[in-house]
Amino acid sequence: QKEVEQNSGPLSVPEGAIASLNCTYSDRGSQSFFWYRQYSGKSPELIMFIYSNGDKEDGRFTAQLNKASQYVSLLIRDSQPSDSATYLCAVREGGGFKTIFGAGTRLFVKA
Amino acid sequence: EPEVTQTPSHQVTQMGQEVILRCVPISNHLYFYWYRQILGQKVEFLVSFYNNEISEKSEIFDDQFSVERPDGSNFTLKIRSTKLEDSAMYFCASSSTGGASGANVLTFGAGSRLTVL
């Protein structure tokens, strides 16, 4: 059973701090890695994707990928109360059409 | 910005009834998906659809479920003889790329909440 594991949280950080979210995956053949944000009662929305080892930055967000360790992370700099949501790590299986999701980490940013 | 449209937003049905959930994917996308999320649980893959056929399905997607693209714009999920445990949010998604190449970025619709009584 291919799995995507995340700490469920909640992770609580003060406004302006860096939030660090982590994810591990079991399928070594995985090709692409995604971070989605989901507000309560809403659908997932893409924050960013990464498929090469290393860091990828987009505004306040940085995704980090380490395929050898099967580890993906998301850093959110200058966290804002509006960043409070559940962050879903998703992994696209190698050779297939399926993207599987972790259970998500709940983030609270305190004003 | 292009979006995935789902109807209905909420459907209440009696156990044993059939329901059809409808989706209009983004117009230039070629890959279509249904996911579901039971309240408080993870987003689960049900099925992917490409070139007018199912490309992959999960163990959840048994004979109770079917998908169809009846015309050039709609993509439907049919659930026959609904059970209490089918109560969930059902998300349709589409992507412009898929298969062995591309980032396969999913764009989700707002979801259809199904309540089975």
**Checking DSSP bridges between strand A105-110 and strand B43-50, what pairing results, if any?**
unpaired
Instruction: Match 């003889």 to its residue by tokens.
Output: B81
- Interchain proximity B45–A102, CB inside 8 Å: no
The answer to whether B36 and B44 have CB atoms below 8 angstroms apart is yes
- Interchain proximity B91–A43, CB inside 8 Å: yes
- Interchain proximity B31–A97, CB inside 8 Å: yes
Looking at CA atoms only, how far is residue A40 from chain B in angstroms? Answer: 10
Q: What is the pLDDT along chain A (111 residues), one digit of tens a residue?
A: 789 999 988 999 999 999 999 999 999 988 899 999 999 999 999 999 998 999 999 999 999 999 999 999 999 999 999 999 999 999 998 777 899 999 999 999 999
Coil, strand, or helix at residue A88?
Answer: strand
Q: Does B25 touch chain A (CB under 8 A)?
A: no
Is the pLDDT reported for residue B7 higher than 80?
A: yes
DSSP B36-91: EE-TTS-EEEEEEEETTEEEEE-TT--TTEEEE--SSS-EEEEE-S--GGG-EEEE
Q: Which residues of A touch B44 (CB under 8 A)?
A: 101
- Interchain proximity A103–B42, CB inside 8 Å: yes
- Interchain proximity B42–A95, CB inside 8 Å: no
Q: Does B11 touch chain A (CB under 8 A)?
A: no
For range B34-48, the mean pLDDT:
97
The answer to whether B23 and B49 have CB atoms below 8 angstroms apart is no
Rounded to whole angstroms, the Cα distance separating A56 from A90 reads 16
What pLDDT score does B87 carry?
98
Coil, strand, or helix at residue A2?
Answer: coil
Q: Which residues of A touch B42 (CB under 8 A)?
A: 88, 101-104
Chain A residues at the B interface, defined by Cβ less than 8 Å, are 31-32, 34, 38, 42-46, 49, 51, 88, 90, 92, 95-104
- pLDDT tens digits, B63-110: 999 999 988 789 999 999 999 999 999 999 999 876 555 568 999 999
- Interchain proximity A96–B103, CB inside 8 Å: no
Q: Which residues of B touch A46 (CB under 8 A)?
A: 105-107
- pLDDT tens digits, B19-34: 999 999 999 898 999 9
Q: In the beta sheet, which residues pair with residue B107?
A: B94
